Amino acid sequence: MKQEPLLNKINSPEKLKELPLSDLPDLAQEIRDRIIDVVTRNGGHLASNLGVVELTIALHRVFNSPVDQFVWDVGHQCYTHKILTGRNDSFDTIRLKNGLSGFPKRDESVHDIVETGHASTSISAALGIIVGKSIRGEAGKVIAVIGDGAITGGMAFEALNHAGHLRKDLIIIYNDNNMSISRNVGGLSSRSDISKSSSFVSRITATRTYQRIRDLIDKGLLSIPFFGYRLFQFVMRMKRGVKAVFLKETIFSELGFEYVGPIDGHSISMVTKVLENVKKLRKPVIVHVVTRKGKGYKRAEENPSDYHGVSPVPAPGDKDLVSKNTFTNVFGRAVAGLAVKDESIVAVTAAMEKGTGLKQFKEEFPDRFFDVGIAEQHAVTFGAGLAAAGLKPVVAVYSTFMQRAVDQLIHDIAIPGLPVVIAMDRAGLVSSDGETHQGAYDISLFRNIPGITILSPGTAEEFRLMIEYSFSTSGPVLLRYPKAECPEGIAGTGQPLIPGRGVFITRTGNRTLLITIGGLVAESIRAVDILSSDGIDIDLYNLRFIKPIDDNNLSDLLSGYSNVILVEEGSRKGGIGEYIAALVYERGLEINFEYHGIPEQFLPQALRSELLELCGLNGEGIAVFVRRLAGMDLSVAVSS
């Protein structure tokens, strides 16, 4: 008879604790199967989640969530945590519209304490919580789980430094799988096979003498159940001595942390025993856990980078998910093409080589390609340095992660006027990742910075022109484009760029004008077609430049219309529409002007097509805006 799945019995961490130790490997297998099944359908972070199944089981066995609190860095590896904290039944809705979030969400569960999505925040947040608990006299441990990728972010170092100083009993689980999305960058990352490693953490623990002593004391310690804690403390002191004598101090010890590890993160019993001892320490501690990204799913183990995040199965007709001609691909090919002719072009990414389309560039120009780790601030200022040295850097970054580097853009690039190209992918509405990943704010954050140019392509030919233009300009240029199919062959969009000016896509000489830009060019053309099939003709103008805008040219153009509607795929507040509304006011233009963008709210997860619909920014929605504003004039235009 088929046994009832163990998962059916577990709707809380308490239930998990009731399972005998011997059932845990089977439970881990059930969780893995569940994750693989759902994520291959819905999309999501596959390899990262498969790597922490045992670790998460051990964490929930040893600690008492929600009295003890977990802070997951990035939060992309929280699927087992969600399954074990009462969300297995709804797990198959993960990342879908109105479904479970792919990241921790406070309003989803009391077990999700901190909301995340961006990397390297966990230690800061966890430290704040433990300080808060101690001031309020509340019980409970705080455990930050951070990967070797996320720990490369500057914030993590800032927090480590502070945490070591405060000496609160913060526990940091350092999940070391040697991978960020691509192979990890830098001296702090290490290899699972520690004996072969040349990295910092492994180097210090890889000498034979150290290994032997460490093995001996670890085994001795862990096999004594009752005296474990006393012995553990003694061993800690000894290990410190061993390290001090043989290996100097580790960077973590230097910062004031007790350092434990590395231990096998797939051994539930080993992790459990270590955590039980660590739990009793009254000082900051780092537990170095070695895991395998993609564990248990051969394809993901062999190719963790491709399986870091997988796309959902595309809905019929969802071109954004199946198209090979995305904005990202057009960007990657064009930059690599220009770099053949111009040896001063160099490319920088902050751990998003594939996502930003720089793979081809890396393969063709390995010496001119730089992955700086999850370090957007550094990437931008590093780009400034490259430009100051006479090179032409392009820093490719997602719009949402560029939020990290506002000051670096102002202080290091814009004030000195350095020719750095910032290519912002995923600008606008972003599928499935929810609030933290929407590219809604770059226009309002950056448009007011003096001396920069911001361009947004609507088609492939326009994009190529803009990339070429960016590298030939003497100052900073930002490009913004969505994760979407990139249309090609649209009238007008191949015309040469004139600074501050756009181009007409349709011009029939009537009284209503639709202004569009970037990812909304395709949707606006659909709106024009929808209206035209009802016998309504409007003009369509593609702005091309978000900044600068040639005010005189634009106000002359606007004054030829009665009704003007602008649509933009960015925050409506502080966006291009507001800028043009001020222009209309200042110039005293007597037109009906209306603008639409992303409303002032954090948009939840859904597909880009669903989000466009929600904001009224798809073809149908834009047609509705036009009819509403220009209704009377449209009927006049039609009848005349």
Ligand X SMILES: Cc1ncc(C[n+]2csc(CCOP(=O)(O)OP(=O)(O)O)c2C)c(N)n1
Residues engaged in binding ligand X (CB under 6 A): 48, 51, 74, 76-77, 118-119, 147-150, 175, 177, 179-181, 293, 308, 350-351, 374, 376, 401, 404
3-state helix vs strand vs coil in the chain, percent to 5: 45, 15, 40
The active-site residue out of 258, 276, 353, 376 is 376
Q: What is the 3-state secondary structure (H, E, C) of 413-453?
A: HHCCCCCCEEEEECCECCCCCCHHHCECCHHHHHCCCCCCE
Nearest of 415, 394, 378, 265 to residue 337 by alpha carbon: 394
Helix, coil or strand: residue 127: helix
The active-site residue out of 293, 544, 547, 572 is 293
Cβ distance 383 to 393 under 8 Å?
A: yes
Smallest gap, in angstroms, from Cβ of residue 583 to ligand X? Answer: 35
CB-based contacts of 400: which residues, under 8 Å, 6+ apart? 118, 426, 430, 436, 437, 438, 439, 441
Q: Residue type at 156?
A: A
At residue 214, φ and ψ (nearest 5 deg) are -60, -45
First to last CA, the chain: 78
Cβ distance 289 to 143 under 8 Å?
A: no
DSSP state of 392: E
Tokens 């929808």 -> residue: 530
Q: Residue type at 319?
A: K
E strands within 249-310?
258-264, 285-290
CB-based contacts of 566: which residues, under 8 Å, 6+ apart? 514, 515, 516, 576, 577, 580, 593, 594, 595, 596
Smallest gap, in angstroms, from Cβ of residue 404 to ligand X? Answer: 6
**Is the four-CA dihedral 398, 400, 405, 411 of positive or negative sign?**
positive
Distance from C-alpha of 543 to C-alpha of 637, rounded to nearest angstrom? 24
Q: Is the peptide bond before 262 cis (omega within 30 degrees of 0)?
A: yes
Nearer to ligand X, 424 or 538 (CB): 424
Catalytic site includes residue 404: yes
Angle subtended by helix axes 208-222 and 228-242, to nearest 10: 170
Smallest gap, in angstroms, from Cβ of residue 93 to ligand X? Answer: 21
Residue 216's Cβ-count burial label (10 Å; 0-12, 13-18, 19+) is exposed
Nearer to ligand X, 370 or 401 (CB): 401
Nearer to ligand X, 49 or 65 (CB): 49
Nearer to ligand X, 376 or 485 (CB): 376
Nearer to ligand X, 72 or 232 (CB): 72
Smallest gap, in angstroms, from Cβ of residue 221 to ligand X? Answer: 28
Smallest gap, in angstroms, from Cβ of residue 27 to ligand X? Answer: 21
Distance from C-alpha of 305 to C-alpha of 50, rounded to nearest angstrom? 13
Nearest of 547, 540, 519 to residue 457 by alpha carbon: 519
Nearer to ligand X, 177 or 432 (CB): 177
The active-site residue out of 61, 239, 243, 404 is 404
Helix, coil or strand: residue 285: strand
Smallest gap, in angstroms, from Cβ of residue 292 to ligand X? Answer: 10
Smallest gap, in angstroms, from Cβ of residue 376 to ligand X? Answer: 6
Distance from C-alpha of 479 to C-alpha of 484, rounded to nearest angstrom? 15
Nearer to ligand X, 349 or 516 (CB): 349
Nearer to ligand X, 181 or 580 (CB): 181
Smallest gap, in angstroms, from Cβ of residue 84 to ligand X? Answer: 18
Distance from C-alpha of 16 to C-alpha of 408, rounded to nearest angstrom? 46
Catalytic site includes residue 376: yes
- What's CA 322's distance to the chain center, in Å? 21
Nearer to ligand X, 38 or 615 (CB): 38
Smallest gap, in angstroms, from Cβ of residue 626 to ligand X? Answer: 38
Nearer to ligand X, 308 or 547 (CB): 308
Distance from C-alpha of 379 to C-alpha of 347, rounded to nearest angstrom? 10
Nearer to ligand X, 192 or 250 (CB): 192
Dmax (CA) of the chain:
94
Smallest gap, in angstroms, from Cβ of residue 12 to ligand X? Answer: 25
Cβ distance 339 to 367 under 8 Å?
A: no
Q: What residues are annotated to the active site?
A: 293, 376, 404
